[in-house]
Structure 1
């Protein structure tokens, strides 16, 4: 059974934020901070594991394994990026079944051609709306937990078909049975407000730092009408900036012990070493 926390939060009508998780270090830090929902981001899980762009290169099998690892590591429920469903209708069915079995709480499926590209990069192409409608219907039918395992329908049509074209697609996806609507890469707060006002279903915002959309503070997003927002790039870009500074200081100044490092002893605890040490105390060989 899927974790009901996402459904419960949506039913409450209170806006909430969901951090993106790119690796298991970010997952355990999010555990410490205390989020009850996290987002398994395709772009950043691909970058962290393989050093590759989010361009449909990583396979369903590889991504499902990463999502399962995130579910195991995180204390929070996981919203998972399912790309295009990794192919046609049979692939969508297989992807939904696999992600649900892996323990995720919701799957996001988009209307790009397969293989897809990151929603804030050029050269994206979308499939006909009728094909995406069938994908959503298949995804909804494939899930076992009809109430708590949610299907998020994303359109990438804003750049190729304009705002009105993207809204026509979202309307079709809502009729097809999607639980949450996700118009990607809207270009202004005005567009965001118009999109949210047009539909009764929950609307998800993607706050992609450096992307096509503005990144207002959470209170503004709530006023606009979003149900929640994901922040897929936040931890990754923050970590990359901190790592670059530390490495530059090491190379140019020889500083190997800078101020502001995360506590090594605390990180050992977060990652589970205390359990290892307890095992050693109980079962390890003792000197006579």
Structure 2
């Protein structure tokens, strides 16, 4: 996407929910765009999993940035970068904002956990930064940005850490005061009720993002009606792919041939289309001269 496109802010100003799908490479980003999603979530979980690694700040900022940049170049919808806990302190946050801005990313999302973080759905260590320290990170992010259209999202982990709704609201208000363009209320419970109550009690003009990974019975429209603006389906593409690939491989090994899966896998023509093969061939015809073999000089 154009590095200076204000498309995400324009989407946030329109009625109804903005829906984002998680991806970990340009192919996944294109599939999300073709399906009709409004934005792509550059998922730390998906990117880590694609490398066979835990989602625990093991990959470096530059590794995650490279993926986000490649996705932003591959699609015309905004890319929202999952930047974990900001890869360090406020100085690290300023660096990441400058780098992600230059990469054409539309938004950066930073969570209020200590660095290094662990995925929110993993039992055990879920340690939050003092709210004042995270406010400094948000203020640093806003001070570092050079594009007014960049959206800085403050991700609230109070419900995940078991600190309760009142603390989530207190922190959300503090982060909004520090300059966050949006807050993301995260939860790992199966009921949407805590998130819906947060939305009901939220009084700031700053929009709210939600991630209904575990409380999946609630619809995007229901969340929007309750006050959510951005709904992120953060890791469903990866999980669907794992199921489909596992089934296909099991069938091939069982049957000794691929006949049993041919009706449920994409034809190569679809792969070529997603790669931009037609455009490649047209460019070759225009710009790459066909020459015969070059004869050597004795």
State TM-score, norm by structure 1. 0.92
Select the residue among 43, 46, 65 that pairs with 2:45.
Answer: 43
- CA shift at 1:284, angstroms? 4.6
CA drift of 1:15 comes to 1.3
Corresponding residue of 2:236: 234
Distance in 2 separating the partners of 1:272 and 1:255: 29
Secondary structure at 1:160 match in 2: coil
1:186–1:192 contact (8 Å) kept in structure 2: no
Pair 1:193 & 2:193 matched = no
Contact 1:110 1:155 (8 Å CA) reproduced: yes
Structure 1 position 9, deviation (Å)? 1.8
- Equivalence for 2:253: 251
The separation in 1 between residues aligned to 2:60 and 2:133, in whole angstroms, is: 21
Structure 1 stretch 77-86 or stretch 34-43: which is displaced more? 34-43
Change (3 A) 1:102 1:194: same
**Corresponding position of 1:65:** 66
Computing the radius of gyration from Cα coordinates, the structure with the larger value is 2
Alignment partners' CA distance in 2, 1:57 and 1:109: 16
Residue 85 of structure 1, CA deviation: 1.1
Q: Does 1:261 align with 2:265?
A: yes
Matched pairs, number: 283
Among 195, 205, 208, which residue is 1:203 paired with? 208
Aligned to 1:219: 221
Gaps of 5+ in 1: none
TM-fit CA distance, 1:23:
2.0
Structure 1 distance, partners of 2:76, 2:267, is 21
Q: Which moved more, 1:191-200 or 1:223-232?
A: 191-200
- Are 1:55 and 1:116, in contact at CA under 8 Å, matched by a contact in 2? yes
- The aligned counterpart of 1:28 is 30
Verify the 8 A CA contact 1:36 1:75 in the aligned structure 2: no
Equivalence for 1:106: 107
Contact 2:18 2:39 in 1 (8 A): no
Specify every segment of 5 or more residues in structure 2 that has no aligned partner in the other structure, as ranges.
Answer: 294-298
Alignment partner, residue 290 of structure 2:
285
CA RMSD of superposed structures (Å):
1.8
Q: Give the TM-score normalised by structure 2.
A: 0.89
Aligned to 1:175: 177
